[in-house]
Amino acid sequence: MTELWQLTATDLAALIRAGKASARDAATAALKRLDAVNPAINAVVDHRPDDVLARADFIDAAIKRGNEVGPLAGVPITIKVNVDQAGFATTNGLRLQRDLIATSNNPVVDNLLKAGAVIVGRTNTPAFSYRWFTSNQLHGETKNPRDPALTPGGSSGGAGAAVAAGIGHIAHGTDIAGSVRYPAYACGVHGLRPTLGRIPAWNPSSPERPIGPQMGAVSGPLARSIGDLRLALAVMSARDPRDPWWVPAPLEGPKAAKRAAVCVAPDGLKVAPDIKAAVLDAAKRLERAGWVIEEVATPPLAEPSDYQTLLWLADNYDAQVAAAEREGDPAAINVLRNHRERAKAFDLAKFSTLLTRRATLVREWLAFFEKYAVLVMPVSGELPFANQQDMRDEKSFAEIWHAQMPQIGLPFLGLPGLVVSTGLVGRTPVGVQIASSRFREDLCLAAGEAIEAGGTPPSPIDPVTA
């Protein structure tokens, strides 16, 4: 018998709206699942069961009165601990922020609540949300439910681990250099980084972010089905006047020919054989679904990746270092130390040159997507890394950063990216990344659905502990 926590968000919401299950039933199932599996993976680091059940009862009462409760009627979800949720600490994985209690919600949280969601808990992130690994000195380490020897990804590692293990049906994450997409890849689920301006976001509890993170960071969903990502995107992207970057773009763009570009090794990236095989297999799945496939070389991606790294970590670098040293988190300090030379050389002239060059690069990519609806390429040059691999030595750190280039480049260009999990190598997940033009998440999702139809890893799963 299928348990409520195993259902897709789409199916569960339909059952609740039809009166065949209650929001309290779904919340109770989610809390029992959390109690059963979270001790092994430490994905959820803050939750209040009484509040969860009270919220579910509120949804049930509204349904009983005949009120519209929204597309996520009673669906349990999780929120990443780096965004404001009223009454909870916006820790961002920091002891420095353990008492930073939000008094109001981030717009993305408000949008999910307006859609009828029930927030079952808050998920872990590395200190400052800097890494593709998830551990910190406040909440501890999150384990990958498919293999504890692998990273769960980061920085939305708690989100990826939670949704893979059946804690919540949709997980909120944030992404500035792969932080939604990489946990989806590492945990064997799907994750969508939307176009900048698609989903409104802002933390009232915190100072305004520097321009680099403003231009690069977005909120996005992780889920076990492409259909649930489509549902999550629709509700998360509702207008909120507090975000000046938000754009009233339609969720469905003009009809486009089913023509997909495929690139196994963008910009000459060294790519592991299993990943090459996954990209080519995804292309075959699309072809079977009626897509025209063409193997191509992409416009520059390594260059945007380098620029995104500078905008993220070199902008306000000294203040970031000072904060990391106050926190005393070795992994956060390691990230900044390994970028010190380039960051210290980043001055106003280089900043101007970078932004000027951005216009040219974006123009090239937009022209590319005039010819192709989507691009299918690797998520990373490597299969998911061993946990804490970035802390081994400088060589390991540099190799990891290089392998992640296909993820890091898209935020600089302002383009959407979707990760679709397609299989397992042993018990290591593998998948592909789909990119498209600005505000064409619909095309990413259409291609993702065709690829998903060819098979995905079993999900949700009981965590593997050894």
pLDDT 10s digits, 234-293: 999 999 999 999 999 999 999 999 999 999 999 999 999 999 999 999 999 999 999 999
What pTM was estimated for this model as a whole? 0.98
Query: How much is the average pLDDT of 361-365?
Result: 98
3-state secondary structure of 76: strand
> How far is Cα of residue 182 from the mean position of the Cα atoms in its chain?
7
- The pLDDT, as a whole number, for residue 8 is 98
- The pLDDT, as a whole number, for residue 363 is 98
Q: How far are the Cα atoms of 26, 139, 189, 331, 406 from residue 17, in angstroms, in the given order?
A: 12, 36, 26, 45, 40
Question: Residues 22, 129, 135, 155: which is the catalytic one?
Answer: 155
> How far is Cα of residue 189 from the mean position of the Cα atoms in its chain?
10
The mean of the pLDDT values for the chain is: 98
Per-residue DSSP letters for 226-257?
Answer: HHHHHHHHHHHT---TT-TT-----SS-S---
Query: How much is the average pLDDT of 402-410?
Result: 98
The percent of residues above 70 in pLDDT, for the chain, comes to 100
d(CA 319, CA 395): 26
Question: Residues 80, 156, 219, 437: which is the catalytic one?
Answer: 80
* pLDDT over threshold 90, residue 197: yes
Residue 306 φ then ψ, to 5°:
-60, -45
pLDDT digits (tens, 9 = 90+) for 120-134: 999 999 999 999 999
pLDDT digits (tens, 9 = 90+) for 447-457: 999 999 999 99
* Domain 4-452 falls under CATH 1.25.40.80: no
pLDDT digits (tens, 9 = 90+) for 437-449: 999 999 999 999 9
Query: How much is the average pLDDT of 340-351?
Result: 96
Domain ranges in the chain are: 4-452
pLDDT digits (tens, 9 = 90+) for 131-147: 999 999 999 999 999 99
d(CA 418, CA 441): 8
64 is catalytic: no
Residue 105 φ then ψ, to 5°:
-90, 145
Confidence of residue 1 (pLDDT cuts 50, 70, 90): confident
- The pLDDT, as a whole number, for residue 164 is 99
143 is catalytic: no
DSSP code for 77: E
Question: Residues 22, 156, 179, 380: which is the catalytic one?
Answer: 179
Query: How much is the average pLDDT of 79-99?
Result: 98
